[in-house]
Amino acid sequence: MTQELQQKWGQCQTILADNLTGSAYQTWFAPIIPLQFENGVLVLQVKSQFVAEYIEENYIQLLSATILRVFGQGTKLEYRVLIDSVSGASTMLPSAGAPAHANPINNAPKQYVEHFDTQLNTLYTFDSFVAGEPNKLARTAGIAIAKQPGYTAFNPLFIYGGSGVGKTHLANAIGNQIQTLTPSARVLYVSANTFKLQYQEAARTNHIPDFLNFYQSVDVLIVDDIQYLAGLKGTQDTFFHIFNYLQQSRKQLILTSDRPPIELKDIEERLLTRFKWGLSAEIKHPDYQLRKNILLSKMRRDGISLTDDVVDFIASNVRQSVRDLEGILASLLAHSTLTDREIDVKLAEQVVSHIVAIQPKKITVGDVLGAVAEHYNVPEKSILSANRSREVSNARHMAIYLTKELTDHSLTEIGFKMGRRTHATVLHSIALMKEKLEFDPVLRQTVEQIESALRY
């Protein structure tokens, strides 16, 4: 026995032990000795003809699938059966073999269903999936898989990330693209919770073989929220065998989860190992630019028109979930339609505050000075100077008033930052502004405009 043959048979033993109970492996496979591998024929020595026949009857599909995986396609199997252990006399028995993509669990012939519901959401496509840095790796891998499902290094593709970042959208987009490029492909999307319920019903009604036949007949299996299989031993065992069969058969698996494989709890180690075989790709929470692009995309799709400041406000405050962005757009449209009100920042703030906690913007004296100077078209240094012209004085009163309203500075601090003015001067400006605001709607509008620019 060559070292290479011994090493490859060792790999086969690892797979067999992983798929069998301890007693079955020790009884039928542990004693096997690999003798040679030449011209595509693997010769295994077994203790008796009964052993060879028992393996052929009960385990040939598992053994064939394992040999094909380790030794390659086209490998043929022969048994060398010892007749006399003293003289070493033996006889050769060729294996009847099994299909190239053998079913390691169920020996019953496959009953393929020609037409079945893929359960894909047809609205979730690559066209509607907005690309950005937070999802770049997962999206790129998904596009490659759609072109050659089962024949890339990304099998399985394990997509993970927080709630609402687009995992389900991307998984469905891959499935829909495969259907477009390869209409004959049998693509199935299922949530882990649905898989669990289907398995439990099959076990209750003694239809496990039909359950296995169906899942092992698909070309692309997409399982959403795989973390929900945690702690379900029977369901995990069955999914393990389905996973093995599909992976060995060069079928594509796509899994999503709210966390990476290493952080999954109460999932069997042999499953976790397989989850890591392909590519684990994280979709991160959308950054500002991606959030803005998502909003613009959905606005074009739904025919919604929003001003730049409204888009900026939403993108700045809705930071975690793409679903929240969609919900806010729908709510804005509903509020605007039902109340016959224009969609402005005030309405956006009202709607957004019901969905996420708005983080108040920290406004500084410098921010106020800049906004006031821009609005009145006067230099900041003029506001801070002793200039008493009407235009500059109006701007100075506005800057002092807004600084008091929008910051937590004391009157003394405001006076110091506004050109070293006295406490009394600051009080006078604030009192003057309040008096004018009671009777001057134009001034009130000016305050609102500058305040809006500062807040959002």
Q: Could you tell me if residue 317 is inside a domain? A: yes
| Mean pLDDT, all residues of the chain | 84
In the predicted structure, residue 62 carries a pLDDT above the cut 90? no
Co-location of 388 and 309 in the same domain: no
The CATH number for 22's domain is 3.30.300.180
- Give the model confidence (pLDDT) of 331-370 as tens digits: 877 877 777 777 877 777 777 777 665 555 678 889 899 9
- Cα–Cα distance measured from residue 225 to residue 259, given in angstroms and rounded to the nearest whole number: 9
Count of alpha carbons within 13 Å of 294, Cβ hemisphere only? 31
pLDDT band at 282 (very low <50, low <70, confident <90, very high): very high
Co-location of 187 and 274 in the same domain: yes
Which residue range(s) make up the domain with 321? 288-353
Q: Could you tell me if residue 119 is inside a domain? A: no
The CATH number for 261's domain is 3.40.50.300
Task: Select from 246, 244, 115 the least CA-distant residue to 183.
Answer: 115
The one-letter amino acid code at 187 reads: V
Task: Encode the chain in three state secondary structure.
Answer: CCHHHHHHHHHHHHHHHHHCCHHHHHHHCCCCEEEEEECCEEEEEECCHHHHHHHHHHCHHHHHHHHHHHHCCCCEEEEEEECCCCCCCEEEEECCCCCCCCCCCCCCCCCCCCCCCCCCCCCCCCCCCCCCHHHHHHHHHHHHHHHCCCCCCCCCEEEECCCCCCHHHHHHHHHHHHHHHCCCCCEEEEEHHHHHHHHHHHHHCCCHHHHHHHHCCCCEEEEECHHHHCCCHHHHHHHHHHHHHHHHCCCEEEEEECCCHHHCCCCCHHHHHHHCCCEEEECCCCCHHHHHHHHHHHHHHHCCCCCHHHHHHHHHHCCCCHHHHHHHHHHHHHHHHHHCCCCCHHHHHHHHHCCCCCCCCCCCHHHHHHHHHHHHCCCHHHHHCCCCCHHHHHHHHHHHHHHHHHCCCCHHHHHHHCCCCCHHHHHHHHHHHHHHHHHCHHHHHHHHHHHHHHHC
Co-location of 278 and 319 in the same domain: no
- Give the model confidence (pLDDT) of 429-455 as tens digits: 999 999 999 889 999 989 988 887 776
- Give the model confidence (pLDDT) of 20-51 as tens digits: 777 778 888 999 999 989 988 999 998 877 78
Q: What is the pTM of this model?
A: 0.56
Give the residue from 244, 261, 282 where a domain finishes.
282
Co-location of 309 and 335 in the same domain: yes
- Give the model confidence (pLDDT) of 75-128 as tens digits: 889 988 876 555 556 678 787 764 433 333 333 334 444 455 888 999 899 998
- The number of domains in the chain is 4
Q: Could you tell me if residue 358 is inside a domain? A: no
- Cα–Cα distance measured from residue 13 to residue 63, given in angstroms and rounded to the nearest whole number: 10
The CATH number for 416's domain is 1.10.1750.10
Q: Could you tell me if residue 256 is inside a domain? A: yes
Q: Could you tell me if residue 143 is inside a domain? A: yes
In the predicted structure, residue 1 carries a pLDDT above the cut 70? no
Whether residue 104 is preceded by a cis peptide bond, meaning omega within 30 degrees of 0, is no
Q: What are the CA-CA distances from residue 329 to residues 132, 134, 313, 337 (Å)? A: 20, 22, 12, 12
